[in-house]
Amino acid sequence: MESPEINASEEESQAPLSTPRPLDAAAAHLKHTSEQVELAKARYEEAKAAHNNAKIIFEALRDVTQLKALPPESTLCPSCARIPLNTIFGRPWPVPKVRRQRVGDLFQAVERQSWCVLCKFLIDAFQIGAEDQAEKLGAHLKARDSAIYFADDPNSMPWFRRAGLDTALPTCSFVWLQTGMPTTTGLPHICITFEPAEAESRTPSGFARPRQRDALEAFNGAMNYGLLRSWLEKCTSQHGPRCNRNADPQVNELDIMLIDVSNRQLVRRSPEDRFVALSYVWGKGTELRLQSFSNGMQECSATSKTPRHNQQDRSRMPKKLPQTVEDAIAFVQWLGEKYLWVDLYCIDQNNALEMQTQINAMDTIFSSSYVTLINLDGDSADWGLPGVSRPLLQTKQPSVSLNAGRLMATFMYSFWHNHGKSVWDSRSWTLQERLLSPRCIIFAKNSISMACQQEYFHDCLDIDQKNETWLGNDYYRDDGSDIKLDGSEWEFNVYGSLVSVYSGRKLTVEADALNACLGSLNRISQSTGYTFNHGLPVEDILRALLWKPHHDHVLQRRPCFPSWSWLGWMGRAEYCYWIGDMADYKGDPSDAEDIAGGPPPKRRRLQWFGEDSSHPEKAAVVPFPSTNGASHALVLFTTIAQFRLRKLRSHGAPHKHLRSDSQQSKIAVGEHWTLLGPDSNPLRNSTGEHPIFESTDVFFRIRPEISKLLEQQESMGEFVFIHEWRRIRDSQQSNKWCFDMVSALLISRNEDGTATRLASIVLDKEHWRAQKPVAGQVTLV
């Protein structure tokens, strides 16, 4: 008989292997418990973060709901209690002169903000300043800069002019919040508005006040879609055909590809399809992404047996799109629109014929869009749209309600210091996209605005269905937003503004200089009937030849275009603006009593040199060939004069002996040259190159390599006559006149007998006659 111990051992050995031992079971239970503890900790941290976020949002909402609650005056520190708010904000507008009233000290406000509501408001207001603005509080603030000021506008302008707005509504009471000495404060950005307590009970619709953003919009910098929708509704319902070109036959005939935002597929546009266009900067890395997309299209095309124009290989969009394109798709979906046009995908970048066809139709594409989305501050296609995937900056609006009334702080980024200086404004292609679009929504890092052909909207101001807002006309705008291309009459100043703004922008491929402005020129041609040859109007070619470098620039040759066109030179070119006003100067000066409020000064008598011979009033141009009007050669029948030249100063050298109020730069831009008279003495340029005529010794400025060319010619210059001006005036404000002036071009002869244009000058007619010009023919290339 077997022993019980042996039987028990056998039974244990025969037990199932899956049954865990007690120690293993305890270890497994401990491990499971540890995992549950870690999971509980993670859930606790998530709940804690959610609680903190909810608390912040709750406090923001509570502040808004309690905005009307007036705190007792006992919550003000003695310094704030003495601020005469009714006196500061009760002055008549506009104020007679700029005033700054000290209302506190930063160090004291920081110490008292825990119990003084006005000190806390002032500190919170300073916090909405941008890092690069003077009002932003720095870590190393000096004691002498700690004073807090309420200041009137330095230019006696309403607050909304800072945003580029103008309206017939009177401005509400406001001041600018500043700190530091007046000489170091800089341009103000933080606007403090005041609403008296007795005015809270009635609707303040009679004044232009900064729009109060809702709590979430101010908290996270989100876009106010309802505000944008009200802009579009007002434009489409109240504005005329200039903003709504759906009835234009060109719109129906437009043959382009579009992105269907519902399924992210490329489709061919039907005549009734309305679409949104996107204007942005490609930036670095976009070419590689485009190449990958194009290679995929080519592979699909190679396996297809259907003709290129019928196949669907272009319908597939990449899975990952640049963030700006993704945001544009999301925005178009919110608008309730179906189609989006983006050049990166809607134009086959590998098909040269299609690209040129689309470039030639660029004016029709953008003028046919329902609205164009402009990414103003994005430096690449991956930057995104502010208010969509990235927050708008400086959207918080601190406020405080006192017994006297309510104060609110709003950050106002200057329109004049952003538009024209942003990344988007620096690119050549983007200018015509702005000018050709009937309406544009402009996404800037600090604000969102909309410009149409009749009105200008900004998110700092609530829309008013009765009152219109438009772009302020403070001064010339470098972004070109004031250029109107659809005038029925030819206006040289419009063309001159286009040349000046466009030529100052950058191109990645210099050969695209004409293509990037072809849409704008086509629009002018459609409106006026004028035709263009290499960017110059054929019907007004003589005046158009008189471009010159901008006074802050010097030009460099662009060899793929003729030298007589500004397209043939890299750098910002411009026209003296009096050239465009010559159509208003008719007859003799004695007949011009209606100009500038009275007759111009008496014409001085010319000093004739030798026997007077007949001289043309302007040069004659051989008609351009009819084939596309694209001749590189320009043949002039004119008179030619030789002048001895002298280089006055090199590039970067000091320009000495200038008056304190001189418009000229104290450091030479380019190499300065002058003309010598028969007595070998330098001549004086009586018109200069600035808005107000100023006599100078400089006749033209050129690059060093061109100076070497003139030096090789023993400093002899050959000039061809273009036009004679009986009188010119610099501006109505100064009313300075010059009489009997001559415009001429400095040329350099080529080996084949043709000539290259080097510079444009204006000089007295007597100096031109003194060189005894002779008739001749010149072929410019």
Higher pLDDT, 318 or 285: 318
DSSP states of 617-647: SB-EEPPPPSSTT--S-EEEEEEEEEEEEEE
> Taking the alpha carbons of 355, 358, 360, 362 in that order, is the dihedral positive or negative?
negative
Range 545-553 average pLDDT: 94
Contact criterion met (CB below 8 Å) for 193 and 410: yes
Tokens 């043939």 map to which residue? 568
Choice among 101-110, 198-207, 208-217, 735-744 with the minimum mean pLDDT: 198-207
The CA-to-CA distance between both ends of the chain, in Å, stands at 126
| Res. 409 pLDDT band, cuts 50 70 90 | very high
pTM of the model as a whole? 0.82
pLDDT at 592: 42
Contact call for residues 612 and 688 (beta carbons, < 8 A): no
The pLDDT score that the predictor gives to residue 360 is 87
What 3-state class would DSSP assign to 607?
A: coil
Mean pLDDT of 462-481: 78
**8-state DSSP, 12:** H
Residues 218-229: tens digit of each pLDDT: 989 999 999 999
- The CA-CA-CA angle for residues 23, 29, 35, to 5°, reads 140
pLDDT at 629 over 90: no
pLDDT band at 215 (very low <50, low <70, confident <90, very high): confident
Q: Confidence class of residue 439 from pLDDT cuts 50, 70 and 90? A: very high
467 in Cβ contact with 399 (< 8 Å): no
Q: Give Cα 745 to chain centroid, integer Å.
A: 33
Cβ 187 vs Cβ 417: under 8 Å: yes
- Condensed to tens digits (0 to 9), the pLDDT of residues 88-126 reads 888 777 666 668 889 999 889 989 998 999 999 999 998
The enclosing H or E element of 58 equals helix 22-65
State yes or no: pLDDT of 270 exceeds 90: yes
Q: How confident is the model at residue 248 (pLDDT cuts 50, 70, 90)?
A: low
Helical axes 515-528 vs 429-436, angle rounded to 10°: 30
Percent of the chain exceeding pLDDT 70 equals 80
| pLDDT tier, 613 (very low <50, low <70, confident <90, very high otherwise) | low
Reply yes or no on whether the pLDDT at 464 is more than 90: no
Where helices occur in 566-620 by DSSP H, the ranges are none
* The two three-digit tokens of residue 756, written as one number: 């290259």
Burial track 531-552 (b if 16+ CB lie within 10 A, e otherwise): ebbbbbbeeebbbbbbbbbbbe
Average pLDDT of 546-561?
Answer: 94
Strand, coil or helix: what is 655? coil
Give the pLDDT score at 132.
Answer: 60
Calculate ∠ Cα 200-205-211, nearest 5°. Answer: 85
Rounded percentage of the chain residues whose pLDDT exceeds 90: 51
Of the candidates 426, 461, 424, the residue with the CA atom closest to the CA atom of residue 444: 424
Higher pLDDT, 681 or 143: 681
Q: Which pLDDT value is given to residue 421?
A: 84
- The pLDDT, as a whole number, for residue 601 is 58
Torsion of CA 513, 518, 524, 527, to 10 degrees: 180
